Structure 1
């Protein structure tokens, strides 16, 4: 019996780096996980070259580094000036990236166009950028060459919930008010028409790209877990203990969390571990004056974050605007039950079996919802062990990078068969979900 032929995949991951976080870590994790299910050659930006080499990949055979710095570097510096603060103005950064990224793809085609046209690759898969606002000239060129082009995971553009205009302004998200104008940009429609499959990292994004690519959308959340990095098993003891991990900025809601937990902290019925730093730190410490059992850890190395979080019963995370919610999966991998706002990424990752979802509302309503949920668990923590185990099980079955690679491999099978793909919900109860409505 002949072994099944592994597809030859050219994986485009301009942002991919095992030593960084956020989008570069997603790009690296998915691109390298796909090597277990396909013969993958990764194309990345030259700034990632040394990290690839340190990770043991071989330049030329495993990856190619494209030097687009002549254009990318000045554009990045411009984005840093326009975003008006470190970590702020994310929409502005994406707008500048939409201008600079096409140069990278032109260089990719210059280097690999002949090989793609000659059929040396079965699939071309653009993994990063994750933003749905950035079109791809490669999609049409691959279609002309008869090579399936897979796009994604795409994620982003989750609207700011009503009642949080102050938080929006604090994040310098002025450009977000006109973000939807990207749909009018040249190349967007052609990219979706020429793509053989579009991986959507969130249901919001799936709906956003529904026209003209709705028959090609596959829902696969962007984040995953490396079991080598998250290998502890939570073992909390004593009174209810909550953990917060993230930047201390308004939309993450650390002030709402302290307000919600304050009565339990005063009564000695709860402890709170705040991991992270940011502009809200002085105000949060002032808010916590007189409260026992709250610790501000600042930023910590990964291993220490894992150790602190593993001592908690709950990830208490009232953020109101998370595209992916990677920290939620990280907590679940440790067996820490997530308590989140039922909105965007975290709301999609958490089910009632594995965590607690507080309805998204006004600031006061979210704080009240967290207070009620925390009080209920302080009164009766009995449900927590079963939820913790269910959270770990869900990560193992659905959210390891190896599981995501297998999900993407199914998409490769569909596009290589030359037929429309059934649109699976790898994360639902029945295994199949309807296509999102446009």
Structure 2
């Protein structure tokens, strides 16, 4: 018998990445095993309704839309705009009322607070009595190590320090502590979040990455007897993504035939270390199909991010058989190992630049190792397939129901 589940997912879209894509992929994966009632904001209502008709499990999905204004939507996607949390909190009150209405007409077995992933707003569905609650994946803990703040402006560095101080305090507020204690199952998105949440729970905190992978049916037949080593960097030009470290790394490799393609950043936005950095190509916004073409023709992904839950691009890269070179931190630090990439300890900006360049130089002269890492990338991606998350969550739900 399929359990009836309410999922609270503010952000949900079949055509987007990041939080909206994460929400959609978790939901459609779980819906293969459960009947789901989804409470979402509705920015992508049209896309959702069109996509449901193409899904075999579409009959198991019922969406409830609670839209907000374009102004609030812009605040949401403008990272760093703290005003959004005021409106998001008000939206969660609406979500609670909607969930209560659903419970009046449907026999709900499980409530799942899915996203946004950050711990600061856990929603209010845990207030509904006598129904087990799952919260997660949960992230937002940790921060950018102090040595890396030297690459920030003084204003930005101070802002980051304040943010990290608030991070360390805010989790102790009664509102968040009640959600932590009232939830029957907590799911951390990475080991950093798990270690923090474990302080407040005697029972085990699970770890499930918020990101997932879709494995291509056909492996790429990229050329490993290359003349030019092609490296990919994908992201927005914000300080936490540390594009500057990638660009500085490339200046250390000017003597080699290496090409870095930067996706998501226009050249006018970037600050090249010097005019000798000739081996970098910039591509601002490009369609998703073209991004896939870049994956198919690249040998490595350079992921320099300093702080996030798990970069969705990391698993997307692995699914394409592209090994990842990254910092040993956050979700990517949990996922990447010596079988599918290279991790660099976070010591300082200079250390990262020198170590990234050393590792890339080593791979440039060791093409067989790149091929081996590519095979390992495919294998690693299979561990994180979206379908596996659906099966895993179904097991978690049934374990909860068996305890009732």
Query: Same fold by TM (over 0.5)?
Result: yes
Structure 1 stretches of 5 or more lacking a match? 81-85, 420-438
What does 1:78-97 correspond to in 2, within 5 Å? Answer: 79=75, 87-89=78-80, 92=82, 95-96=85-86
Aligned to 2:108: 121
Post-superposition offset of 1:76:
5.0
Matched, 1:10 2:6: yes
Post-superposition offset of 1:408:
1.2
Aligned to 1:264: 253
TM-score normalised over the length of structure 1? 0.82
Post-superposition offset of 1:200:
1.0
Distance of aligned partners of 1:304 and 1:54 in 2 relative to their CA distance in 1, 3 Å threshold: same
Matched, 1:102 2:98: no
TM-score normalised over the length of structure 2? 0.88
What SS does the corresponding residue of 2:253 show, helix, strand or coil?
Answer: helix
Distance of aligned partners of 1:160 and 1:54 in 2 relative to their CA distance in 1, 3 Å threshold: same
Distance of aligned partners of 1:47 and 1:295 in 2 relative to their CA distance in 1, 3 Å threshold: closer
What does 1:13-412 correspond to in 2, within 5 Å? Answer: 13-57=9-53, 62-67=61-66, 69=68, 75=72, 79=75, 87-89=78-80, 92=82, 95-96=85-86, 99-115=89-105, 120-141=107-128, 144-145=129-130, 147-165=131-149, 166-167=151-152, 169-170=155-156, 173=160, 174-227=162-215, 233=220, 235-236=222-223, 237-265=226-254, 267-277=255-265, 281-284=269-272, 287=273, 289-396=275-382, 398-412=383-397
Aligned to 1:433: none
Distance of aligned partners of 1:354 and 1:363 in 2 relative to their CA distance in 1, 3 Å threshold: same
For this pair of structures, how many residues does the alignment match? 395
Matched, 1:413 2:398: yes
Post-superposition offset of 1:204:
1.1
C-alpha distance in structure 2 between counterparts of 1:325 and 1:218, whole Å: 19
C-alpha distance in structure 1 between counterparts of 2:271 and 2:41, whole Å: 40
What SS does the corresponding residue of 2:125 show, helix, strand or coil?
Answer: helix
What SS does the corresponding residue of 2:52 show, helix, strand or coil?
Answer: coil
Work out whether residues 6 and 99 of structure 2, in 8 Å CA contact, stay in contact via their aligned partners in 1. Answer: no
Post-superposition offset of 1:288:
5.4
C-alpha distance in structure 1 between counterparts of 2:274 and 2:299, whole Å: 21
Structure 2 stretches of 5 or more lacking a match? none
Post-superposition offset of 1:68:
5.1
Distance of aligned partners of 1:41 and 1:282 in 2 relative to their CA distance in 1, 3 Å threshold: closer
What SS does the corresponding residue of 2:399 show, helix, strand or coil?
Answer: helix
Post-superposition offset of 1:226:
3.0
Distance of aligned partners of 1:327 and 1:93 in 2 relative to their CA distance in 1, 3 Å threshold: farther
Post-superposition offset of 1:19:
2.4
Superposed CA offset, 1:160-180 (max 9, x none): 112123538448545443223
